[in-house]
Amino acid sequence: MNVIIISVEDVSMKAEIYDTPTGKAILGALPIKSTANVWGDEIYFDIPVIMDSEPDAREIVAVGDLGYWPVGSAFCIFFGPTPVSQGEEPHAYSPVNIFGKVVGDATTFKQAGAGSLVRVVQA
């Protein structure tokens, strides 16, 4: 299993990357440095990966899921409800490819704000 470290300002967490086409493409693009955008309880940021939606891409995700948003070439970290959620379950704006999961309490990312520096590296 591949493990990465996601750092958003002072918050750093490990995440497992799944053996999927999107997971492999993201691992191949590491290290990544970007700027965080915040949308409800989701952080997303541009990455240098271009992928289409995978057959199992979806809008309803789980807390801690890592998704790739094909529409915006973005890496998404879900840690709670977003503006399109109906309840506490995170919902992506449009289908995302789920390629990994945060190890530990993903809600820790609530401390990070828009404009924060994001770094993603292999563990």
The band of 65, judged by pLDDT with boundaries at 50, 70 and 90, is very high
Whichever domain contains 6, its CATH number is 2.40.100.20
Torsion angle of alpha carbons 19, 23, 25, 29, nearest 10°?
Answer: -120
Number of domains in the chain: 1
**72-110 pLDDT, tens digit each:** 999 999 999 999 999 899 999 999 999 999 999 999 999
Beta-carbon contacts of residue 110 (< 8 Å; ≥ 6 apart): 41, 79, 80
Chain mean pLDDT for the chain: 96
The band of 1, judged by pLDDT with boundaries at 50, 70 and 90, is confident
Report how far residue 52's alpha carbon sits from residue 57's, in angstroms, rounded to the nearest whole number. 10
pTM of the full predicted structure? 0.96
Give the domain extent around 92.
2-122
